[in-house]
Structure 1
C-alpha cells in the first residue's frame, strides 16, 4: 500500500490537480485523502486524525471525496475519544452528500459507535446499573 501511495504521490506531483479533466478526482489532495483512508482502514486512528487535521481540501474537490473525507475523519475522531468532533464531522458529511453519508458503511459504523458511547457515559443510570451488576 505504501509503495502504491508513494507512486501516486509522484504522479500527482507531476500532474498537479486534475479535477477539471473528465471529472477526475486525482491530484495531490486526493493522494492525501487516500493515505488518510488507508490509515483508517488499518485502524491507525491517531495517525489518520493527524493527517485529517493537516489536509486542506481544495474548493473544487468532488462532493463525494469531500464527504468520504468527513466520514473517515469522523471515524478517526470517534476512535480517539473525540465524540463531539466526530458528530460534527458526520453532520458536515450529511450536509455535503446526504445520500452517500446515509448509506456509507463507515458512516453507519461511526454512528453506531457514537450511540454506544452515549449509552456508556459514566454518569448515566444505565452505566451505574451495569457497574453494580444489575
Structure 2
C-alpha cells in the first residue's frame, strides 16, 4: 500500500510516525487479585493506588502503588490489626467468607478504604472503613 502523495509505502510511513510502545504482560499483579479498585493520587506525586479482595488472608486488603500502571509495588495493607475485624479469626473458616470488593478513594489528601466483610455465621455484612494520610505506612 502507498500513502497518497508519498513515494513511501504506507506501513513505512506509519511505522516511522509511531511512538515506541512499552511492553508489559498481564496480569500486572502476580497471583490471584480479584475485584480491583484503583485511584489516582496527585497528592502522592501522581501515583496510582490499587487494592483487591483478600478474602481470608491476614494481613489483608493489600494496597499497591504505581506511577505508570505497569510497574507495581506493594505499599501496605489496610487490614493489618487483628482487632479491626476480630470475628475474622473466630468464625471465618469458609471460602465464601472474608473481605470482598474493597474500594479506594482519595479526598482532601486522605485515602479512604472501605470493604465488605462477610461471615456466614452472622449473615449480616459489615463494612469496615479505614483511612490514612500515608498509604505506604501499615501503622497509619
Tell me whether the two structures share a fold, i.e. TM-score over 0.5. no
Please give the range of the TM-score, normalised by the shorter of the 2 chains: under 0.3
Q: Which structure dedicates a bigger proportion of its chain to strand?
A: 2
Q: If the length of structure 2 is used for normalisation, what is the TM-score?
A: 0.23
Q: Which structure dedicates a bigger proportion of its chain to helix?
A: 1
Return the structure number with greater relative CO, CA threshold 8 A, min gap 6. Answer: 2
Larger Rg: 1 or 2? 2
